[in-house]
């Protein structure tokens, strides 16, 4: 797993919408709250530059984060990150405390590996089709995977891998997954044939060759008739 994302915080004495504006404009920080795990809620404020940098990392939205407030450390997951709809500025952040035994619903990306070594691609010229690129799983907060690896090495032409066939981390599950709700994740399909169409001539148009032949025939007939006429006059 990658290094844990750490956010440094300070205690927020001021609360309420007016005070929050002051924190954002004067302090240059973002109001936040940490709650859950049967403990008292903490009103905090986060450094804008740290929060901005963290928000650019995909793991910020799926992994357990560490918030440091002096000597106090809180393991949390992001529950909500409010932004100004017009300017995109951060307005407020909500975090939920977690422990190693806390179960969470998280969306995890699929990581397709060994695509170049896929049997159906190498031997039969097939194309890999990815139907699902991420999946929501239920797992322990202390065991959230960065991604779910899908090995396509042995996938033959016409074969596929479904949700019920993928390996999940220990203690993880896809909620509500049954044979009826099962879905295809990835498959190897034959490439579509491209048919070349014959050029279509517009109605009333003829080929240049046909036009030329007809013109030559008409000239020959005219010359023949002229020769016959002269022969009759001489006789």
Distance of CA 40 to the CA centre of its chain: 38
Task: Lowest mean pLDDT of 7-11, 94-98, 135-139, 217-221, name the range.
Answer: 217-221
Instruction: Report DSSP state, residue 101.
Output: T
For Cα atoms 65, 67, 69, give the angle at the middle one, nearest 5 degrees: 175
Main-chain dihedrals φ then ψ at residue 201, nearest 5 degrees: -80, 140
pTM: 0.61
Q: What is the DSSP string of 26-73?
A: II-EEEEEEEETTEEEEEEEEEHHHHHHHHTSGGGGTS-EEEEETTEE
Residue 46 pairs in a beta bridge with 9, 30
pLDDT at 235: 45
Express each pLDDT in 115-133 by its tens digit: 999 999 999 999 999 999 9
The pLDDT tens digits for 222-235 are: 555 555 555 555 54
pLDDT category at 218 given cuts 50, 70, 90 is low
Distance CA 129, CA 126 (A): 10
**pLDDT of 147 over the 80 cut:** yes
Helix locations, 78-196, DSSP H: 119-122
């Amino acid at each position: 797993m990658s290094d844990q994302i750490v956010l440094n915080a300070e205690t927020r004495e001021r609360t309420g919408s007016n005070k929050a504006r002051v924190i954002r404009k004067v302090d240059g920080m973002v109001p936040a709250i940490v709650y859950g795990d049967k403990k008292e809620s903490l009103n905090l404020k986060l450094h804008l530059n740290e929060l901005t940098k963290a928000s650019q990392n995909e793991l910020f939205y799926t992994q357990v984060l560490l918030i440091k407030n002096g000597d106090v450390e809180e393991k949390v997951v992001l529950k909500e990150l409010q932004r100004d709809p017009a300017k995109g500025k951060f307005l407020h952040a909500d975090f939920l405390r977690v422990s190693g035994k806390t179960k969470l619903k998280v969306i995890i990306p699929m990581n397709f590996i060994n695509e170049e070594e896929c049997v159906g691609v190498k031997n039969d010229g097939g194309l890999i089709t990815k139907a699902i690129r991420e999946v929501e799983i239920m797992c322990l907060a202390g065991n959230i995977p960065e991604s779910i690896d899908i090995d396509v090495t042995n996938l033959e032409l016409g074969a596929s891998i479904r949700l019920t066939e993928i390996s999940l981390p220990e203690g993880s599950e896809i909620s509500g997954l049954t044979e009826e709700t099962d879905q295809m994740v990835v498959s190897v399909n034959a490439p579509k044939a491209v048919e070349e169409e014959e050029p279509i001539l517009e109605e009333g148009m003829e080929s240049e060759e046909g036009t030329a032949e007809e013109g030559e025939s008409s000239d020959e007939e005219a010359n023949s008739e002229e020769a016959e006429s002269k022969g009759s006059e001489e006789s």
